[in-house]
Amino acid sequence: MRGLQVLVKEFADPLQSEFRIVLERTRLGMSLPRAFEDLLRRVPEDDLRLLVVAIKVQSEVGSSRAQIIGCLGEIVRTRQQLAAQIHTMTSQGRVSGAIVGLLPVFVLAIFNLIRPGYTDLLFHHPTGIKVVKVAIAFDAMAFFAIRKILNVQY
């Protein structure tokens, strides 16, 4: 309970208001696991889900809450470090995807600057318009494929 009081005093909104609700509900007689389950329903976050599970286990088993929350804090920090590493490792792929997606537009603009009539066939002939549509579709598919590949679930 003292830890919740410190959270309410030290943190800013929206975290402060959410933990204030948990603190008030426990003061009114609701069990701590139940109050945290309600918090999880309001704020569906994976790290918070781990905290709720830890509090439920502690209330049923009766082990040290401080030790469990300490271990949980280490797990959350490790997950955040892993997320940062994944973000860093996939940054080259994201930049490559953006370059691949924008390269045809730049090449077309350069051709239009160097030889203005060179691209007229693409935009004024029916076959050229079809080629542009197919190229845009392939470019969009490549962009979404690269994005899907780089979306790493951990």
- The pLDDT tens digits for 46-59 are 888 888 888 888 77
**31 with 104, same domain?**
no
Q: Which of 45, 70, 87 is the endpoint of a domain?
A: 87
Which helix H or strand E contains 132, and what residues bound it?
Answer: helix 126-150
Measured torsion, CA atoms of residues 30, 36, 40, 42, in degrees rounded to the nearest 10: 50
**Average pLDDT of the chain, as a whole number:** 84
C-alpha span between 141 and 149 (Å, rounded):
12
Same domain, 98 and 73: no
Share of the chain above pLDDT 90, in %: 5
* Domain match, 24 and 76 both: yes
Tell me the mean pLDDT in the region 5-25. 82
Residue linked to tokens 């239009």: 112
Return the residue matching tokens 């693409």. 122
Whether residue 145 sits in one domain with residue 106 = yes
Residue 40 and residue 10 share a domain: yes
The pTM for the full model equals: 0.56
Q: Is the pLDDT of residue 88 over 70?
A: yes
Cβ-in-10-Å burial (0-12, 13-18, 19+) of 22 comes to buried
Judgement on whether residues 82 and 95 belong to the same structural domain of the protein:
no
Q: How many CB atoms lie within 10 A of CB 33?
A: 18
Domain residues for the domain of 137 are 90-150
pLDDT, average across residues 124-149? 88
What is the model's pLDDT at position 74? 87
